[in-house]
Amino acid sequence: MAAPVAESWSWFPVLALGVSLLKCLFISSYHSTDFEVHRNWLAITHSLPVSRWYYENTSEWTLDYPPLFAWFEFGLSHVAQHFDRNMLVVENLNYASPSTVLFQRLSVVFTDLVFIFATRECCRCVQEQKGSRDVLNRPSFVLAVLLLWNFGLFIVDHIHFQYNGFLFGFLLLSVAKHLQARHLQGALLFSILLNLKHIYLYVAPAYGIYLLRSYCFTQDNKDGSVRWRSFSPLRLLALGSIVVSVCALSFGPFIVMGQLPQVLSRLFPFKRGLCHAYWAPNIWALYNVLDKGLALLGVRLKLLEEAELPRASMTGGLVQEFQHSVLPSVSPSVTLVCTLLSILPAVASVWRRPRGALGFLRCLLLCALGSFMFGWHVHEKAVLIAVLPLSILAVESREDAGIFLVLTTTGHYSLFPLLFTPAELPIKVSLMLMFTVYSFTALRKLHSSQGPLLRPLEIIYLLGLVAVGIACEVVFPLSPWQQRLPFLPLLATSVYCSVGVCYSFLRLYVSLLRRDEEKPKQT
Amino acid sequence: MQTWSLVSICVLLGVVVRWGVSLNYYSGAGKPPMFGDYEAQRHWQEVTYNLPVQEWYFNTTDNDLNYWGLDYPPLTAYHSWICAYIAKMINPEWVELHKSRGYESPAHKLFMRATVLVADLLIYIPAVVLYCLYLTDGSSKKKVSTLLCFLLYPGLILIDYGHFQYNGVSLGFALWGVLALGLGWDVLGSMAFSLALNYKQMELYHALPFFFYLLGKCVKLGLMGRGLFLLARIAVTVLVTFALCWLPFLSDPSQTMQVVRRIFPVARGLFEDKVANTWCSLNTLIKIRSILSSESQLYLSFACTLLAILPSCIRLLTKPTFWQFKLALANSSLAFFLFSYQVHEKSILLAALPVCLLLNNLPLMAVWFLQASTFSMLPLFLKDGLLVPYVVTSLAFLFFSIYLLSALERCSEEELRLGSLP
């Protein structure tokens, strides 16, 4: 392969096309109930008038994303009618004809174009090393592969079925715009994203504080602190009007129809339990396990009566309310307080000493990870909100690369239980190995001059992941405990991964606070 | 980046693509009474496991040869036996005599697909990796690019993992033979190729170049000295390999003859269905099948085939270099495909393998041929419901090979070696 001397981006379309073709190969693989969710939403938005969208509940999968996403599904439904009209009938529950599957799968692949465009913009923002002629060694190339061929995004979107690529495209594009100092565009993109899926509210504090601090205050003092006099009301007005107008466009019709309370109740359903059926690897998984452990210990030591313990199982298949037996139960407000406390130092750091757009990115990361750690009813898929932006930092800084390897490998492994069918086992193992081998070797080569990326303890932990994997996927199904304790592998995966995720969270915080101690650099 | 990591990524990508294709339908899915190649392989597992060796190739009450009778040499039968042994441990219903006819289930499909993948991982893929790393010239990036394109060749993936066959085993053995010959291990190479021949008789398409190359090498070493010794060692190796493979059938001459009759069915006409060779194409203009008698058809195809391969083989005899050997393999297999008797469209894979070996040296022509060979099997893929995998894998192969091997840039006359002989 001839290495061109000039800055040639010919490899980018090849990477993008390659991954898109690979996605098309899995059209007939397993898909989860999320497939039916989106088919239902296509049907609702196409067949019913707008006033009925948030009241419709023929299917259990009611519309629980903000209105812009509903309009997106409405647009898709116009293309869908050329594939198979029957999928747009609301009563056709669990309808999955071959044309339906083809259409839905292709729509995910097609909307991933937003993600591909966003990756391109992020790669442009990454600083190139001077004099590196080898394409494989360029930070932009490595970042492109880490984003486009991300294992977690691939299996969640194209096998499990969701539209995360589309949404993350908006997030990454907004980040790229901020890195390029185009703040208004970044704010616009983020407002659109918020109105597409409200889970990104978790990272809104980072945006809010950063834009207020670095955009509305046009100048800093010499030591980096805020110069109150340089406040620009015009800029604040511009930002405010962008956000308000996007929200008005999205929620406007429903406010006019007086349906806002109903929409909000659909968007924020707090009836679900603390943890998803499969515990996301966050603090609450460790809390649950500790509680169970203490309960078992208490029964053994005759400190507790077994009959007194609540009967509800936390590891049951459906989402239910449950209580803890020994430790205090956790309510949604407690999780909110914990989340806010966890992101407070990061946000405060951005306010006191903003380090440009990269500092904002770090704060965004910590907000995302903090809310993953302490949030209510978190899905394990949410770890991707932290993994993808961290890729940008990983190709530029050695310390971040090390944290990235731990968080990504752990986070990706925690997604394994999503694909539980035996036919998908070789796919998830091979793809995971591919991504892991690539990320380790590419990042090590990129930062080779600055020493090893991982500490020995981290290497041992990651090797332990392999052992857990083999135990859960191969050994356990063939062992006698399969009948008695069917949720043991899920428990083991969840707990083992939460250790890694917590560790990465702490390390990221330490790295942020350590940067805070240094003298402020010119941004 | 280190070569080992790039190689492992390529191999993993190859495995992912293969398994992705295998999620689709197989031949004869849900089509009683005869089903397709998938059912044939399952039936052979049933027959080889439940019946004694003497009955495998004979028409008995337990073994109805009209329902997918064994028509491959003994090594295929032994492979089926091994698979059946494992199948019996998982679910005996899969290989129960008579009762398991037409058995179809998701678990069984998973098992069968897994057997193909395991065979590939053990035989075909290591051969491809070693070939690209040791017998391809150029930088390590070029070697890895060749490896990726070689592994992504759509024809073999779609037939083995879609339609359902075990071509990876026979082609893998043949590739091991080529690899050994390229590294100078002639005896091991001839053993590997004998194994390939004993797995599928169609490997005869590759036999003449192997024979002439080794003969030419012996002649060069001197027929009175080391050459003769080498020739003797090769001959003994081949005979011993054949003897070991055919051991259960050598006790009785009628056994041997029956196996030969099964693997060379000369009663079946010049061609079947539609296949992209001369006889089928000629048949649209001149109805050969009705003009000539069955015997003269046989002689005609034999003569044409011989005529087509003789030049390259004689050249190989006089100049036994590895490059000539590769070209002769491509020439011989194509000649057989075009002119031989009872050619199936899947036999194009036997020509595709040698052309894959030329990917590095003649990228444009190799990619062109490989793409055309996959396209020639399109009716088969459509019948099996493999349109989407076909489009995806063909596009991927086309783009990756054109980009990675710079196929369109290396188009000068010298590059294409269209000029005089080197």
pLDDT by residue (tens digit) across A112-164? 999 999 999 999 988 777 666 678 888 999 999 999 999 999 999 999 999 99
Model pLDDT for residues A36-66, shown as the tens digit of each residue: 999 999 999 999 998 888 888 888 888 889 9
Find, among A128, A52, A127, A126, the residue nearest to A90 by Cα.
A52
**Encoded amino acid at A293, one letter:** G
- Smallest Cα distance from A429 to chain B, Å: 9
Q: Give the whole-angstrom CA distance, residue B56 versus residue B47.
A: 7
Interface size A-B, in CB pairs within 8 Å, comes to: 82
Q: Give the whole-angstrom CA distance, residue A140 versus residue A396.
A: 10
Model pLDDT for residues B133-144, shown as the tens digit of each residue: 999 888 888 999
Q: Which residue of A has its CA nearest to B8?
A: A434
Q: B19, A22: Cβ pair inside 8 Å?
A: no
Question: What's residue B273's pLDDT?
Answer: 67
Q: How confident is the model at residue B420 (pLDDT cuts 50, 70, 90)?
A: very low
Q: Which two tokens stand for residue A139?
A: 């930070």
Nearest to A441 among B1, B13, B117 (CB): B1
Question: What's residue B115's pLDDT?
Answer: 95
Q: Which residue of B has its CA nearest to A29?
A: B23
Q: Which two tokens stand for residue B44?
A: 């052979």
Residue ranges of A 438-467 with Cβ closer than 8 A to chain B: 438, 441-442, 445
Q: B110, A430: Cβ pair inside 8 Å?
A: no
| Residue A333, helix vs strand vs coil | helix
Judging contacts by C-beta atoms under 8 Å, the chain B residues touching residue A27 are 388
Judging contacts by C-beta atoms under 8 Å, the chain B residues touching residue A439 are none
Give, in order, the Cα–Cα distances in Å from A86 to each of A39, A46, A438, B284: 10, 12, 43, 44
Q: List, in sequence order, every residue forming a beta bridge with A395; answer none if it has no partner.
A: none
**At residue B45, does pLDDT exceed 80?**
yes
| Residue A178, helix vs strand vs coil | helix
Q: Give the whole-angstrom CA distance, residue B237 versus residue B401.
A: 38
Give the HSE-up count for residue A11: Cα atoms under 13 Å, Cβ half-sphere: 20
Give, in order, the Cα–Cα distances in Å from B132 to each of A22, A92, B124, B179: 23, 52, 12, 10
Q: List, in sequence order, every residue forming a beta bridge with B271; answer none if it has no partner.
A: B343
Q: Give the whole-angstrom CA distance, residue A267 versus residue A263.
A: 6
Question: What's residue A272's pLDDT?
Answer: 66
Judging contacts by C-beta atoms under 8 Å, the chain A residues touching residue B107 are 422
**pTM flag (> 0.90):** yes
Find, among A69, A63, A12, the residue nearest to A37 by Cα.
A63
Question: What's residue A131's pLDDT?
Answer: 63
Q: Which residue of A has its CA nearest to B142?
A: A1
- Smallest Cα distance from B34 to chain A, Å: 25
Task: Give the pLDDT mean for A285-310.
Answer: 78
Assess A57–B contact: CB distance below 8 Å, yes or no.
Answer: no
Nearest to B9 among A14, A427, A438 (CB): A438
Give the range among B206-215, B291-300, B329-338, B390-399 with minimum mean pLDDT: B291-300
Separate counts of helices (H) and strands (E) for chain B: 21, 0
Judging contacts by C-beta atoms under 8 Å, the chain B residues touching residue A26 are 20, 23
| Residue A293, helix vs strand vs coil | helix
Q: What angle do CA B101, B107, B112 make, to 5 degrees?
A: 70
Assess B12–A contact: CB distance below 8 Å, yes or no.
Answer: yes
Q: Please tell me the total number of residues recorded for chain B in this structure.
A: 422
Q: Which residue of B has its CA nearest to A26?
A: B20
The ipTM of this complex is 0.90
Q: Give the whole-angstrom CA distance, residue A384 versus residue A390.
A: 10
Backbone dihedral region of B353: left (phi > 0), alpha (psi from -120 to 50 degrees) or beta?
alpha
Question: What's residue B222's pLDDT?
Answer: 81
Q: Which two tokens stand for residue B49?
A: 């496991």
Q: Give the whole-angstrom CA distance, residue A8 versus residue B53.
A: 63
Question: What's residue A523's pLDDT?
Answer: 45
Crossing angle between the packed helical segments B387-404 and B3-22, to the nearest 10 degrees: 160
Q: How many CB atoms lie within 10 A of CB A409?
A: 24
Q: A434, B19: Cβ pair inside 8 Å?
A: no
